[in-house]
Structure 1
Amino acid sequence: MFRTFLIAVISLLIFGRCAQQVTPTGGKKDSIPPGLLESNPVNKTLNFKGKVVELFFDEYVIVDNINQKLVITPEADNPYSYKLNGQSVRLTFKNEFKDSTTYTLNFGDAIKDFAEKNPAKNLKVVFSTGATLDSGRVYGTLKDIRTSKPIFDALVGLYNISDTLDIAKQKPYYFSRTDSSGNFSIENVQTRNYRLIAVDDKNRNMLYNAKDERVGFLNNEISAGADSVSYLLDMFLSDNTPLKVQRTLPRVNNYAIVFNKSVERVAVNFVNKDSLPYLLENPTTLKFFNVEPHPDSTIVKLTVTDSLGASAEFDQKIAFQAQRGKERQRDPFSISTEPESNKPLTTDFRYKFVFNKPVKKLGADNIVLITDSLTHEPLSTFPQTWNATHNELVITAKSFAKDSVKWDLPKGSIISVEGDTLPKTLFKHPHLNEENYGQVQGRLVNADPAVKYIVELIDEQFKVIATQFSNTYTFRYIPQGKYQLRATQDLNGNGRWDTGEAKAGLQPEPIFFMPDKFLLKANFELNDINIILPKNQ
């Protein structure tokens, strides 16, 4: 009997220890975030002199990336370590906090419950190392100037006023981050004047990287009072890094110069009275072509201008690789068109041929526009314009075709500077049926008569569908879809939007949106689709 009892007890112990413990299934999912029971110091404590901050919760919690998510303002430059102990989190700082200063510890979503990972909401501790709490507040909204969309998780900073302020090297004194609606609020700040500046801060180092981070700022100082106004900052990309040659790519057939950023235009001056064909292959790459005869090396002076209008000059030696073997391997000669093949054409149309190499010879009498079986019009009968590097040809033409239009390019009709040609190529476009398209008409209300404007029709992905340079506008032959209008003040009259530059205190050219999108249907005309500009813009 005793032996049987003993075996049963041992079996229970063995299987009890081996059984896996699991969370009970079923029941309602816990969606309640952890609640803060108390903190040490207590919120809004005065004369705090300690180096430890501890939080106590009503359930077990975890810590998630607290070094990234905990925001301490003003910038303390005070390293800390943390310890998680079940239902509490303890922060131990290396140094005491600066005297007579109000500090805010905003934890964001760094602390979550153990079971369902629900983040604690609005978790913040405020204390002062002096006898009073600072009561200043600065709040507002950030949006992208080109899309008018709110910007999430951008750094908004209050900077001490200085003639030598450099946001690429100096962190803000107070700061906050925007929510999903682009809103920010910086609270418990000293009541005085600051510079208000926002940056994307993608790498979260609290410094401005002009290469790939947007920036927004106010030119004037702001007052951080208890009754502050709401500020709206337009964010824009402004790569003001100096232009330089990043690398060169010498080959047998060509020599490429790659710049560190996009350039708008390049002027080339051949020093030795030599000459080589060249083109701007893409916004960052200038390519020279090796054609015979030429010396072993060619010296050129380059004047390069970026999108901000800043120019730089370079002396560059062009030296091709030596040829090995009998045949030189050339890059294939290619062509593209604007509009693309199969896109409809109106009766009066503008057409562009784009080549990947400069063109040496064009047989304009052999290239024909075919509108029907009997009508073949040579390219030579239409007005033509080449660009400076002879790789883009613009044609204005008219066609009365009923169904489609074709460009027929026979083999050998176009010869590049490298002596190669295109195979026989045919570009076909349907004739545009007006019943399948709509029209939008409107005007700029409150437009300044002394200022030029650029009005753009954009789709839901902010792609520009059509552009007009007038206070009144009519967009014809627009496909059915949802659209929006935006107007740019072209302050310098150069026909494009110009960005700003934070270091120079230069704001971008203002952009105004028609706030609501509209649906354009086929064979419909929408009138009085107006953009109402603010008065005294």
Structure 2
Amino acid sequence: MGRKILGFLFVFVIVLVSYQCAQRGTPTGGPKDITPPELTRAEPPNLTTNFTGQKIRLYFNELVKLKDIQKQLIISPPLKNTPVLSPIGNANKYIEITIKDTLEPNTTYTFNFGQGIVDNNEENPKSFFTYVFSTGNYIDSLELSGVVKDAFNKKVDDFVSVMLYKIDSSYNDSTVYKRPPNYITNTLDSAIIFKLKNLKEGKYALFGIKDASSNNLFDQKTDKIGFVEDTISLPTDSIYLLNLFKEVQDYGVAVPSMEASNRISFGYYGEAEDIKIETLTEIPDTVRTKILKEREKDTLNFWFTPYEMDSLLFTITNENLKVKDTFKVKNRKVAFDSLKISMSQNGNIAMDQPLNLLSNTPLVSYDSTKIKLMDKDSVEIAYSLKLDTIENLLNFNFKVAPSQNYRMELVPGAVTDFFETTNDSVAYSFRTKSLADYGNLTLNINGGNIVYPIIVQLTNEKGDLQREIYAKKPQAYIFDNLDPGQYQARVIFDRNKNGKWDTGNLLEKRQPEKISYYPNLIELRANWEKIETFNLID
């Protein structure tokens, strides 16, 4: 009996011990670590003067790693050669930096790591940690701050480089294209405020660049730029605005290509109105030619009636810049571009948007007797037509009714193109919704110093243009029959009175035309009548 009791007690103790061990080994799910790593020491110390070494070590109180460091690390002034950072891909309690450049004398260098140093477990960032040293006997301590915005879009890009160039005998208007700045920082994520630190007294030029190639230079083809017109004198207490815009690319032409047996395409940069295309090759009198801009593309198409030839020699002249290029286009076996027509709207059409017949080849004429427009009861609808030879479309103008189904029929010969080709029989069906399916919006725009003309626009959430009204004087801005959804409203101040928004130009020292955005999205529901007041602030 005693042995049984002892055996029972033994088993009980074993189970109890095992249970307690199991309890000790069970995770408790304690609070998540949100503490960023802390720097414990640096070799050489932060803010070192008379720096002469090539290596820097930064020690932390826990294991750290580098995350997206190529984008996050900003070195000011920029180095010619990217320093080597280690460890890459592994965690360690220190980060080592090996400098491969010969450093400038009497210069303060700043390494801003952004969000690039994180702890190993939770990836808590050591936000905006900076390591500073000077090759001279003091640390430059002046600062410059400001705000970055986008000239056209409501939201500014992230990772905008803010660049400061010292104005000296080597500086000119094109320096930003050719060499990195003296000082640089960037905005992170959705931040719009910037601050340049550890600056030296002097006169400077300030730029903001969305640097697509990350080369610390301005590339007009890919980058947005903003600039401050005035010279900046440090020290200063002023806050500066950088308004980023994409320039119209300088004039240029691509090598032309024979895309079809009746079409040679000329891609270009700049403005099509300044470009003149002429043939140097003698063309038979029986061959007809026409030059037309391709819809929504920076391409000019040279249309011609096909004939036997080996090649064509062209001159392309920019009459504004007095620049002339010569190109030879060899004949090759490609298909003939034949007439294809389509409608600008299909299905549910917008009641307040134009309805156009579009063509891929140049339209030259139409016969309205061969075009029939009918409603859902097969009753013919009166309409008028206008041929736009610039946009290469045929515009239909008729009284659009709500809750209606339409059918448009074109019999052969309704439209004729440049090659005397006519359409086949074709029919298009489209419809309108009831007025109750739409919403109506009225914008009242207030402001004491509005300079007219202005362009009032509505876009969708993505920024795609939906409607616009051009105003030369104060008025109510009424947008009827809008599809339900979220809208953005903006006002363009048409400074040069050409009916569109104009971007800026750095070398011309021209800022883009001003745009003001309504602060909130405007929600519009079906069968709503909505009035919003847009207060413009100077």
Give the structure-2-normalised TM-score. Answer: 0.82
From 274, 279, 295, give the equivalent of 2:292: 279
Seen in structure 2, the aligned counterparts of structure 1 residues 311 and 456 have a Cα distance that, compared at 3 Å, is farther
- Tell me how far 1:89 sits from its aligned partner: 2.3
What does residue range 91-106 of structure 1 map to in structure 2 within 5 Å?
A: 91-94=97-100, 97-106=103-112
User: In 1, Cα distance between the equivalents of 2:65 and 2:537?
Assistant: 50
Seen in structure 2, the aligned counterparts of structure 1 residues 349 and 164 have a Cα distance that, compared at 3 Å, is closer
User: In 1, Cα distance between the equivalents of 2:448 and 2:428?
Assistant: 42
Aligned to 1:176: 185
Give 1:215's aligned amino acid: I
What does residue range 124-273 of structure 1 map to in structure 2 within 5 Å?
A: 124-161=130-167, 162-180=171-189, 181-225=191-235, 228-249=237-258, 251-259=260-268, 263=272
Aligned to 1:385: 387
User: In 2, Cα distance between the equivalents of 1:287 and 1:25?
Assistant: 71
Q: Quick check: 1:489 aligned with 2:490?
A: no
User: In 1, Cα distance between the equivalents of 2:335 and 2:57?
Assistant: 70
Seen in structure 2, the aligned counterparts of structure 1 residues 507 and 310 have a Cα distance that, compared at 3 Å, is farther
Seen in structure 2, the aligned counterparts of structure 1 residues 531 and 394 have a Cα distance that, compared at 3 Å, is farther
Give 1:337's aligned amino acid: M
User: In 1, Cα distance between the equivalents of 2:117 and 2:132?
Assistant: 17
User: In 2, Cα distance between the equivalents of 1:464 and 1:310?
Assistant: 32
- Tell me how far 1:403 sits from its aligned partner: 1.9
- Tell me how far 1:402 sits from its aligned partner: 5.7
> Is the 2:402–2:433 Cα contact (8 Å) retained in structure 1?
no
- Tell me how far 1:97 sits from its aligned partner: 3.7
Give 2:210's aligned amino acid: D
Give 1:37's aligned amino acid: T
Seen in structure 2, the aligned counterparts of structure 1 residues 285 and 152 have a Cα distance that, compared at 3 Å, is same
- Tell me how far 1:397 sits from its aligned partner: 2.2
- Tell me how far 1:458 sits from its aligned partner: 1.3
Seen in structure 2, the aligned counterparts of structure 1 residues 59 and 449 have a Cα distance that, compared at 3 Å, is closer
Aligned to 1:456: 457
Give 1:253's aligned amino acid: N
Aligned to 2:346: 341
- Tell me how far 1:214 sits from its aligned partner: 0.8
- Tell me how far 1:468 sits from its aligned partner: 0.7
Aligned to 1:526: 530
Seen in structure 2, the aligned counterparts of structure 1 residues 265 and 352 have a Cα distance that, compared at 3 Å, is farther
Seen in structure 2, the aligned counterparts of structure 1 residues 276 and 296 have a Cα distance that, compared at 3 Å, is farther
Give the structure-1-normalised TM-score. Answer: 0.82
Deviations 1:216-251 (A, max 9, x none): 1111122343x6333222211114333123342254
Aligned to 2:61: 58
Deviations 1:493-520 (A, max 9, x none): 1111111111222211111111122212
> Is the 1:350–1:397 Cα contact (8 Å) retained in structure 2?
no
Deviations 1:192-229 (A, max 9, x none): 3211101111221111111011111111122343x633
What does residue range 457-476 of structure 1 map to in structure 2 within 5 Å?
A: 457-470=458-471, 471-472=474-475, 473-476=477-480
Aligned partner of residue 441 in structure 2, secondary structure: strand
- Tell me how far 1:296 sits from its aligned partner: 7.1
> Is the 1:336–1:354 Cα contact (8 Å) retained in structure 2?
yes
Seen in structure 2, the aligned counterparts of structure 1 residues 73 and 459 have a Cα distance that, compared at 3 Å, is same
Deviations 1:69-95 (A, max 9, x none): 432212344664445494222323346
Seen in structure 2, the aligned counterparts of structure 1 residues 102 and 525 have a Cα distance that, compared at 3 Å, is same
Aligned partner of residue 365 in structure 1, secondary structure: helix
From 53, 75, 95, give the equivalent of 1:89: 95
Paired-residue identity, %: 25
Aligned to 1:21: none
- Tell me how far 1:448 sits from its aligned partner: 4.8
User: In 2, Cα distance between the equivalents of 1:192 and 1:249?
Assistant: 56
Seen in structure 2, the aligned counterparts of structure 1 residues 523 and 318 have a Cα distance that, compared at 3 Å, is same
User: In 2, Cα distance between the equivalents of 1:266 and 1:212?
Assistant: 23
Aligned to 2:441: 440
Give 1:384's aligned amino acid: K
- Tell me how far 1:68 sits from its aligned partner: 5.1
- Tell me how far 1:170 sits from its aligned partner: 1.7
Deviations 1:118-158 (A, max 9, x none): 43333211223334322211222222222221321111101
Aligned to 1:14: none
Q: Which runs of 5+ in 2 are unaligned?
A: 1-25
Aligned partner of residue 436 in structure 2, secondary structure: helix
Deviations 1:278-308 (A, max 9, x none): 4222423222334267987666655569xxx
Give 1:58's aligned amino acid: N
Seen in structure 2, the aligned counterparts of structure 1 residues 386 and 121 have a Cα distance that, compared at 3 Å, is closer
User: In 2, Cα distance between the equivalents of 1:528 and 1:66?
Assistant: 46
- Tell me how far 1:276 sits from its aligned partner: 0.8
> Is the 1:176–1:186 Cα contact (8 Å) retained in structure 2?
yes
Aligned to 1:395: 396
Give 2:251's aligned amino acid: P
Aligned to 2:514: 510
Seen in structure 2, the aligned counterparts of structure 1 residues 450 and 141 have a Cα distance that, compared at 3 Å, is closer
Q: Which runs of 5+ in 1 are unaligned?
A: 1-23
Aligned to 1:405: 406
